[in-house]
Chain A
Amino acid sequence: MKHRTFFWFFLPTGLAMLLFIAAPIVSVVMQSMFAPHEAVLKTVENCGPFGCQPETTIDQEATRQLRAEQPLGRFVGLDIYIDRGHLAFSEVAAAWRAADGIGDFLSRLGNLPFYRAMAFTLTYTFVVTPLLIVLGLIIALAVNTLHRRLKGLVIFFSLLPMIVTPLVGSLILFWMIDSRGIIGSFIQWAANDPDLSLKASTGLTWIMLIVYGIWHSAPFAFVVFYAGLQTLPQDQLEAARIDGATRWQQVRFVVVPHLMPLVTFVALIQLMDNFRVFEPIVGFNASAHATSLSWIIFNDLGGETRQLSAASATSVMTIIGVAILLSPVLVRTWRDFKGKH
């Protein structure tokens, strides 16, 4: 394609990307480096249904002037990134000095919101992603061997977890695992412990969230792999059969290598998605046991006083986190691309 043609061809996409991807990121980075002005407080007489009393309030005149002078707020650089709500450098250093042994240090680290969120997010991401790929592949192989009349129906039901809105799906499961729900009661019966509660135990809550994550995302992997299976090289498979390959060997040495680019694709998308785990934490009311970076952003914005700068800083760290997670896969894809040219 001529450069000129390419330029005109690409221009609309380029503009849209600039507007909807680049500009918001720039805006978030900016917001994370500016904080609200120092509040000018004054004590005034407040009256209401319960009588009058002196209360502290914000001096709006003085604040308006400050805002007019510096509409962005005060510049704080990277201060927010290193405060206790985020990377917490000074708290981590203090924990390191005070801790006796690595275990104690880690438990002190778990007391800081960012590291607590990372502990769950990374566990979730690295357990859910491989398991959902394996499960998706198994479903795809199983469905592929079905009689073609049955296929449509089975595919529809296999896709249901993905069709159900995450929040609704997690709410349904949330009620089922309640200590009075069907799964919760069954587990109590199975463990012979009437006080056992999934929701009250951190470990069981994590397992529940992970199981939900796999249940919800496996259909995505299944659909992609199933599409891939339709392009299997039949002659290679036939050759393998003639050589006496078992079914497992056919899958291991022909099918999986053929699907490898798709595995990379699913891994890429799912790493990105799972790192931003959010809905199940809200749906399961699980914030006492498990938090994630996305949940922290939600929580910062959901309080009576919105913490925009803190939320922006966490957003930027999420972007950086996703970039780090994806870098090995991206580097690999780039190498493959270069190798072909």
Chain B
Amino acid sequence: MFLKRLTAASALALAAATGAAACEIEARVSIVGNEFPAIQTVGAGAQECTGAEVTTNLTADHQKINLAGMQGNPAEYTSAIIANSSIVALLNEDVIRPLDDLVAEYGAGLNPNQLVTIDGQIMAVAFMANAQHLVYRKDVLDALGIEPPKTYEEMLAAAEAIRAAGIMENPIGGAYAAGWNLAQEFNNMFLGFGGQHFKPGTAEPNVNSEAGAKALEMMKALSEYMNPDFLTHDSNATNAEYRAGNVALMNMWGSRAATLVTAEGVPQEVVDGFAIAGPMTVGGGDIPASTLWWDGWTVAKNISDAEAEATFIAMMNGIKPALMADDEVASQAVWLIEGYQPTPAAVGVFEAAQAGTIPYPMLPYMGLMHTALGNELADFMQGKESAEQALADVEAAYSAAARENGYLQ
């Protein structure tokens, strides 16, 4: 609640400061997207436009509704704010339009790296980058004379030292909730061990490999230092553990780092000890065990050209460079917008990009793999089956889904 108020207040202050920016539109705009602070800011910016109605539906369940809301003709949503994983579903169903002509006409001020092109056509405009990276408690590590871990092996050693010193019983946090989160943590670790989800050039699964087994063993080792309820902890619950001072080391999203200790009631030592660093490597690899993400917006295909134009103008207003003058907004994300000066909260994501972290795969069948991983890995994490069995289950579940969806014969 506090955060929402804060965002709303800063958006208001901004509107006043920029003197109700001249944004005139002539057709309806309807936006669907996720609901973290940076996206709230973009939505509020789009709503400053006058002349026609701009509605937003920002919810954590956005990906369950955006496709259905864009398949009709005319589409309910004229724009969907998506990430590099969720744009795939929209591309697969062909519900978003190429933006080349709109960018040429109204896209002045966009950085070239904001344009997401697929086969030469601009399909989305990215506005922020994101990655999971280390968040730790500097005070706890300093007290024991430990350096912030650069690898997951060091993280395990640090956790053992913290537990042995009796400071925390479960010093590692992780968003290991069965489902999407657990699958994402596996993706990180698997890529860090040099794994590839698919046999090159095909939709054949390739996770039941040495890299897959090693990734699972490392996740199991980490979970020994986590709250025993870890299979129910998503990002929110993991952050709550950190805020409560129960966790000293965790792999967390950059987009959540800036606001981690601004919540009400966070103990002072947690606020003071809060520190972030780049993502960790694993198993002696050079590539961090993490993935790079971008968030951006699209324009629906099944709407009139006038609506597409209005949507583009309104969304451009949501990511205008003037926003970057507001410190509060600047700290909300690693913006790709012109004029953005990195804040201390951006260190983790920048290091991730510099260390050559792999972007989350934008493959048409990656969503099915992610779902299969989320469903089948919990048994291994509970010690009910071997890593090989869990990975074989993942491949079998994925193959059944991929055959049904026409990706495998």
State the A residues within 8 Å of B (CB).
35-39, 41-50, 55-58, 60, 63-64, 74, 76, 80, 83-85, 91, 111, 113, 178-179, 195, 197, 199-200, 202, 284-289, 299, 301-307, 309-310
- Whole-angstrom CA separation of A73 from B91 in the bound complex: 18
Interface string of B187-231 (1 = CB under 8 A from A): 000000000000001010000000000000000000000011111
13 interchain pairs, CB-CB under 8 A = A39-B407, A47-B117, A48-B84, A48-B359, A50-B294, A57-B118, A91-B396, A179-B228, A304-B88, A305-B89, A305-B405, A307-B401, A307-B405
- Closest beta carbon of chain B to A337's beta carbon, Å: 43
- Whole-angstrom CA separation of A45 from B120 in the bound complex: 7
Q: Let me know if B406 and A74 touch, CB within 8 A.
A: yes
List B residues 219-273 near A (Cβ within 8 Å).
227-232, 234
A35 — which chain B residues lie within 8 A by C-beta? 404-406
A48 — which chain B residues lie within 8 A by C-beta? 84, 113, 115-117, 126, 294, 359
Contact of A50 among B64, B292, B393 (CB under 8 A): B292
Q: Let me know if B228 and A84 touch, CB within 8 A.
A: no
Q: Let me know if B228 and A304 touch, CB within 8 A.
A: no
Chain B's closest residue to A44 (CB) is B119
Q: Let me know if B362 and A46 touch, CB within 8 A.
A: yes
> Is B330 in contact with chain A by the CB < 8 A criterion?
no
- Whole-angstrom CA separation of A304 from B67 in the bound complex: 10
Stretch in B36-44, B277-285, B375-383 touching the partner = B375-383
B84 — which chain A residues lie within 8 A by C-beta? 48
- Closest beta carbon of chain B to A111's beta carbon, Å: 6
- Closest beta carbon of chain B to A193's beta carbon, Å: 11
- Whole-angstrom CA separation of A302 from B400 in the bound complex: 17
Chain B's closest residue to A52 (CB) is B117
B405 — which chain A residues lie within 8 A by C-beta? 35-36, 39, 305, 307
A45 — which chain B residues lie within 8 A by C-beta? 117, 119-120
Q: Let me know if B367 and A304 touch, CB within 8 A.
A: yes
List B residues 325-375 near A (Cβ within 8 Å).
336, 353, 359, 361-368, 370-371, 375
- Whole-angstrom CA separation of A309 from B406 in the bound complex: 12
Q: Let me know if A179 and B229 touch, CB within 8 A.
A: yes
Known contacts A55-B363, A287-B179, A84 near B92 by CB under 8 Å: no
Q: Let me know if A309 and B353 touch, CB within 8 A.
A: no
State the B residues within 8 Å of A (CB).
63-64, 67, 84-86, 88-89, 91-92, 94, 113-120, 126, 129, 177-179, 201, 203, 227-232, 234, 292, 294, 336, 353, 359, 361-368, 370-371, 375, 378-379, 381-382, 385, 389, 393, 396-397, 399-401, 403-407, 409
Q: Let me know if A57 and B94 touch, CB within 8 A.
A: no
Q: Let me know if B91 and A306 touch, CB within 8 A.
A: no
Q: Let me know if A84 and B397 touch, CB within 8 A.
A: yes
Contact of A305 among B92, B119, B120, B336 (CB under 8 A): B92
Q: Let me know if A85 and B113 touch, CB within 8 A.
A: no
A305 — which chain B residues lie within 8 A by C-beta? 88-89, 92, 364-365, 367-368, 371, 401, 405
- Whole-angstrom CA separation of A91 from B370 in the bound complex: 22
B118 — which chain A residues lie within 8 A by C-beta? 44, 46, 55, 57
B129 — which chain A residues lie within 8 A by C-beta? 49-50
Q: Let me know if B406 and A302 touch, CB within 8 A.
A: no
Q: Let me know if A113 and B401 touch, CB within 8 A.
A: no
- Closest beta carbon of chain A to B230's beta carbon, Å: 8
Q: Let me know if B364 and A46 touch, CB within 8 A.
A: no
Best-surrounded residue of A47, A178, A195, A286 (most CB of chain B within 10 A)? A47
Chain B's closest residue to A200 (CB) is B228
Contact of B367 among A64, A289, A303 (CB under 8 A): A303
Known contacts A36-B406, A45-B119, A58-B92, A288 near B363 by CB under 8 Å: no
Q: Let me know if B382 and A111 touch, CB within 8 A.
A: no
B382 — which chain A residues lie within 8 A by C-beta? 200, 202, 288-289
- Closest beta carbon of chain B to A106's beta carbon, Å: 13
Chain B's closest residue to A37 (CB) is B406
Known contacts A179-B229, A303-B370, A113 near B91 by CB under 8 Å: no
* Given A39-B364, A47-B117, 12 extra CB contacts under 8 A: A35-B404, A44-B120, A48-B116, A60-B94, A64-B94, A91-B396, A111-B389, A195-B228, A200-B229, A299-B375, A305-B89, A305-B371
- Whole-angstrom CA separation of A55 from B135 in the bound complex: 32
A41 — which chain B residues lie within 8 A by C-beta? 203, 364, 407
Contact of A58 among B294, B353, B364, B378 (CB under 8 A): B364
A37 — which chain B residues lie within 8 A by C-beta? 406
Best-surrounded residue of B117, B118, B179, B400 (most CB of chain A within 10 A)? B400
- Whole-angstrom CA separation of A39 from B126 in the bound complex: 27
Q: Let me know if A111 and B393 touch, CB within 8 A.
A: yes
Q: Let me know if B89 and A50 touch, CB within 8 A.
A: no
B86 — which chain A residues lie within 8 A by C-beta? 304
Known contacts A58-B364, A199-B232, A111 near B406 by CB under 8 Å: no
- Whole-angstrom CA separation of A44 from B365 in the bound complex: 15
A179 — which chain B residues lie within 8 A by C-beta? 227-229
Chain A's closest residue to B84 (CB) is A48
- Whole-angstrom CA separation of A45 from B121 in the bound complex: 10
- Whole-angstrom CA separation of A39 from B406 in the bound complex: 5
B403 — which chain A residues lie within 8 A by C-beta? 83
B85 — which chain A residues lie within 8 A by C-beta? 304
Q: Let me know if B231 and A200 touch, CB within 8 A.
A: yes
A58 — which chain B residues lie within 8 A by C-beta? 91-92, 94, 364
B292 — which chain A residues lie within 8 A by C-beta? 50
B89 — which chain A residues lie within 8 A by C-beta? 304-306
- Whole-angstrom CA separation of A284 from B232 in the bound complex: 8
Contact of A288 among B67, B232, B406 (CB under 8 A): B232
Q: Let me know if A85 and B232 touch, CB within 8 A.
A: no
Best-surrounded residue of B361, B389, B396 (most CB of chain A within 10 A)? B396
- Closest beta carbon of chain A to B166's beta carbon, Å: 14
- Whole-angstrom CA separation of A189 from B184 in the bound complex: 35
Known contacts A55-B362, A305-B89, A288 near B378 by CB under 8 Å: yes
